[in-house]
A = this chain, B = another copy of it.
Amino acid sequence: MERMTGSSETHKGQDVQVDLIAVLVSVVAGAPCVLTIRGGHMLPSGPFELEHRSLQSSLRAWVERQTGHSVGYIEQLYTFADRDRITDDRARRAISISYLGLTRADELKAQPSSGWGGWYDYFPWEDRRNGVPAVESDIIEPRLRGWAQSASGTGPRAERWQRAASVFGFEDHAWNEELALQRYELLHEAGLVQEAYGEAPPVENLVPGIPMFADHRRILATAIARLRTKIKYRPVVFELMPPIFTLLQLQRAVEALSGRPVHKQNFRRLIEQQELVEETGEVAADTGGRPAKLFRFRAAVHLERTFLGTRLPITRS
């Protein structure tokens, strides 16, 4: 197999548009948020600036210019180049490179026509902090059951229902918060979100949740899933926290992102044994009950931590 240049002409430059799409996440008052434009229906995006050294630096510069502050953590999500991808001028082929960025909410200088949208306004079924939300049992489950039933043939029917049960945790399946993308994709496939339709979306029979432009809600789901995975083996939550915080505040941020309730005592044990934080010596007075010790992120941890994270029966020695 030689270098796979079909013919040398195809290797010439192509008239493509390269866009960056940012999923900028922060936690505002215990609610996980994403930066949006156009009334909450679009993710901010912009052209890739060739003068920059790298994609990362281009994105960083652009975000900093717009938000007035630096982004703590940036991670590439996915590159899309589908032919049917909707571009602004709908003429040219577009390549979109999406990024996840974490920032502290208080540090954002608000810009006109942009704002923080709550994750769970877009994905109400993803918030299980207070148990299974009504939308799931009342709407999603019956609709998905109907969708499964509407398949032709016993096999396909069972397969659809099996898939739904598996990603939404119906029947004896466990809920897995990391499957946010799969859940959105399933709802899309089942025609239960507005983005599944073109010109005239049905007003009825859709599942609650704010729709977004093109595939932006799908990209947001990707970001949520990625962050929910990441948070478990890398101390990224700290990028969303103020410099000084209580353990409960930290817990609330984790719960906000993961969409699940956390056992307070065990959470604190985990955090402490990982030595991620250190006491400042001060206490927070305004907690409503006994004052909580204040903590800060340990500086040493910032330099790349090595983590555990094996699920293989590894030989010890």
**Contact surface of A with B, Cβ cutoff 8 Å:** 1-6, 10-18, 35, 37-38, 42, 44-50, 52-55, 62, 66-67, 76, 78-84, 88-89, 92-93, 95, 97, 111-114, 159, 162-163, 166-167, 169, 173-174, 176, 178-179, 182, 231-233, 254, 258, 260-263, 266-267, 269-270, 300, 303-315
Contact = CB atoms under 8 A, between A and B. Distances in A.
A89 to B, nearest CB: 8
A81 to B, nearest CB: 5
Most buried by B among A1, A6, A167: A1
B46 A166 contact: no
A11 B16 CA distance: 10
A212 to B, nearest CB: 14
Contacts of A312: 231-232, 254, 258, 260, 262, 267, 270
Contacts of A50: 14, 83, 93
Nearest to A108: B1
A243 to B, nearest CB: 21
A117 B181 CA distance: 35
A26 to B, nearest CB: 14
Given A18-B16, A97-B79, A308-B174, A1 B267 contact: no
A14 B6 contact: no
Contact of A309 (B2, B269, B311): B311
